[in-house]
Structure 1
Amino acid sequence: MAWLQLHIATTEQHADAFQNALEEMGACAVTLTDGADQPVFEPPPGTRPLWQNTVVSALFEADRDPALIIEALTQQGLAPQAHHHETLEDQAWERAWMDDFAPMRFGQRLWIVPSWSEAPDPQAVNLKLDPGLAFGTGTHETTALCLQWLDAADLNGKTVLDFGCGSGVLAIAALLLGASQAIGTDIDPQALQASEDNARNNGVADRLQLYLPDKMPPDHHCDVLVANILAGPLVELSELLAGYCRPGTLLALSGILADQAESVREAYAPWFDLNPTTRDGDWVRIDGVRR
């Protein structure tokens, strides 16, 4: 069975109206995607920000006439900025989606392995992780920079703080790489749930504690701190994060664009001896040691 997929270019203000109208016309599925390479970083919980230029894609049965669909939208006052359509042959859609995520290696020892894949190296440190609500599988440069740093660090017996833990991938990786205990904190309760589930799937749930930021244990100190968030919050939180670190604590910061690196370095320089900045594409990692 074939399908008609109709793509409509619109704005953030009109995307929801197009979605509702297409669903009322019998679309089997409607998705919204970025139409102009405009990333949306870490929206607050409970919000759904869209892109200024949004593409609304609707899937219909193949016998539908795309011209009639566009005409019906226009009669409702919904005129697309642009549109095009294509025919999709039926396939195993779940398998096609899964094929986008293959095992990935970080450093010398660590692999991220989706649950449906065999570990390429069964003797390596294999972290089982699937895409989910609090997305973070190592595919983004910021996460990869942190995973590579963790793989190269001596974590044996160390306590780790993953600040802004998301899916928990960094805390779980640290535990699998030899850390004795880890704490993860995030402003989003869904992230904490995802971290707990992923920790359980990797057999480390008994060594990972999870907290909302305002519930963090008072006077907590760690041996290793990783924070993969954004440059603005990293600068604002520099004194707080430094306070979690005892002398000798290893620090890794990511989620930083290359042109933001200097402002982040300046914010942490009063407390940390910082190594040269590490870059991957447009993104960087800043790491060092607490004085």
Structure 2
Amino acid sequence: MAWIQLTLSSNEAHARQLGDVLMANGAQAVTYRDGKDAPIFEPGPGEVQLWEHTLVTGLFDAAHNMPALIKRLRQVRYLGADFNYKTDPLEDKDWEREWMDNFKPIQFADNLWVVPSWHEAPDPNAANILLDPGMAFGTGTHPTTALCLQWLAEQDLSGKTIVDFGCGSGILGIAALKLGAARCVGIDIDRQALIATRDNAERNGVADRFEVYLPTEQPSLAADLVVANVLAGPLQELSDVILAYVGDSALIAMSGILERQAEQVIQAYQPTINFAPQRQSEEWVLLHGQRQ
């Protein structure tokens, strides 16, 4: 089946409404893209964030009456009669197959890979995390997750107890367990994240060693290592909660932090944590250290 793609420029206030208009007029799917390369960070529970300048794209059957649709759109008050738009024909192809072909196993260290479910593991003897890119909550493709995975692969985790604070998909806890940790406790405010973590732990054969909790249910324990890939704001606000998991001489690694935010996060954890030099990928940093 052939398709045609209609792209319109909008703002944050009207982008969702415009997407609804396109769906009501026959769009098979609607996507939202940043029009000015501005970052969006992790939203709060139930919150939907869009960019100040948003490109709204509707996917239509190629036989759709596009002139009639454009005429109707000219009547939309917040677009105006002289709005700009672009149409692009899309060739018929197996989109699912093409999407799958774009994702290959990703290596984070000599002994650590993330492998999509449709691929063979390149190194069967390595710690291979079976996780499909594109799913929610983190799959290793973002610099913050990659920084944490690379750091974990360098640690001696044999027999250790780990806390994965803000566990998301469970990728960091699963990595720690596959790298030799004995137990992982995952904590997240999102019940869907806990479901994803349980499912991924089961797929990777570590569910019996991976416990998950909401913050209201979280147990008291002194871990050997804490990893928290969330955002700078929560890391600062919850520093007392996170530090309570860091046992004597235990290690901690934190990411989800922009370079300009690093010093504020460090201050929230000093003097309890003796920080090593920070690591950086693009504009993101990983802070790591040891409890004094």
2:233 maps to 1:222: no
CA distance in 2, matches of 1:52, 1:205: 41
Residues 133 and 141 in structure 2, CA contact (< 8 A), matched pair in contact too = no
* 1:123 corresponds to: 125
Residues 10 and 53 in structure 1, CA contact (< 8 A), matched pair in contact too = yes
* 2:60 corresponds to: 60
Count of residues in correspondence between the two structures: 290
CA distance in 2, matches of 1:116, 1:134: 18
Alpha-carbon deviation of 1:188? 0.7
CA distance in 1, matches of 2:289, 2:271: 12
The one-letter code sitting in structure 2 at the alignment partner of 1:32 is Y
Residues 160 and 224 in structure 1, CA contact (< 8 A), matched pair in contact too = yes
Provide, for residues 65-119 of structure 1, a one-character-per-residue CA deviation record: whole Å limited to 9, x for no partner. Answer: 5343222111233527531111100111111222232110012210000001111
Structure 2 residue corresponding to 1:190, chosen from 189, 192, 213: 192
Residues 10 and 82 in structure 1, CA contact (< 8 A), matched pair in contact too = no
Alpha-carbon deviation of 1:12? 1.6
Residues 256 and 284 in structure 2, CA contact (< 8 A), matched pair in contact too = yes
Residues 171 and 182 in structure 1, CA contact (< 8 A), matched pair in contact too = yes
CA distance in 1, matches of 2:77, 2:156: 61
Q: Bigger CA drift: 61-70 or 173-182? A: 61-70
The one-letter code sitting in structure 1 at the alignment partner of 2:122 is P
2:100 maps to 1:98: yes
Change (3 A) 1:102 1:135: farther
* 1:261 corresponds to: 262
| Secondary structure, aligned partner of 1:75 | coil
Residues 134 and 190 in structure 1, CA contact (< 8 A), matched pair in contact too = no
Change (3 A) 1:171 1:134: same
* 1:252 corresponds to: 253
Alpha-carbon deviation of 1:132? 5.8
Residues 171 and 184 in structure 1, CA contact (< 8 A), matched pair in contact too = yes
Structure 1 residue corresponding to 2:157, chosen from 155, 158, 162: 155
* 2:84 corresponds to: 82
Alpha-carbon deviation of 1:133? 5.2
CA distance in 2, matches of 1:23, 1:246: 53
* 2:148 corresponds to: 146
Alpha-carbon deviation of 1:33? 2.1
* 2:208 corresponds to: 206
Identity fraction in percent:
52
Provide, for residues 197-219 of structure 1, a one-character-per-residue CA deviation record: whole Å limited to 9, x for no partner. Answer: 000000000100000112111x3
* 1:270 corresponds to: 271
The one-letter code sitting in structure 1 at the alignment partner of 2:268 is A
The one-letter code sitting in structure 2 at the alignment partner of 1:56 is V
* 1:289 corresponds to: 290
Q: Bigger CA drift: 122-131 or 60-69? A: 60-69
In structure 1, stretches of 5+ residues that fail to align are none
Normalising by structure 2, we get a TM-score of 0.95
Provide, for residues 201-251 of structure 1, a one-character-per-residue CA deviation record: whole Å limited to 9, x for no partner. Answer: 00000100000112111x311001000111121122222211211111111
Residues 107 and 114 in structure 2, CA contact (< 8 A), matched pair in contact too = yes
CA distance in 2, matches of 1:20, 1:259: 37
* 1:26 corresponds to: 26
2:41 maps to 1:44: no
**Superposed counterparts of 1:168-179, under 5 Å:** 168-179=170-181
* 1:239 corresponds to: 240
The one-letter code sitting in structure 2 at the alignment partner of 1:35 is G
CA distance in 1, matches of 2:286, 2:141: 15
CA distance in 2, matches of 1:274, 1:47: 33
Residues 18 and 78 in structure 1, CA contact (< 8 A), matched pair in contact too = no
CA distance in 1, matches of 2:133, 2:191: 17
* 1:279 corresponds to: 280
Alpha-carbon deviation of 1:275? 0.4
Change (3 A) 1:241 1:85: same
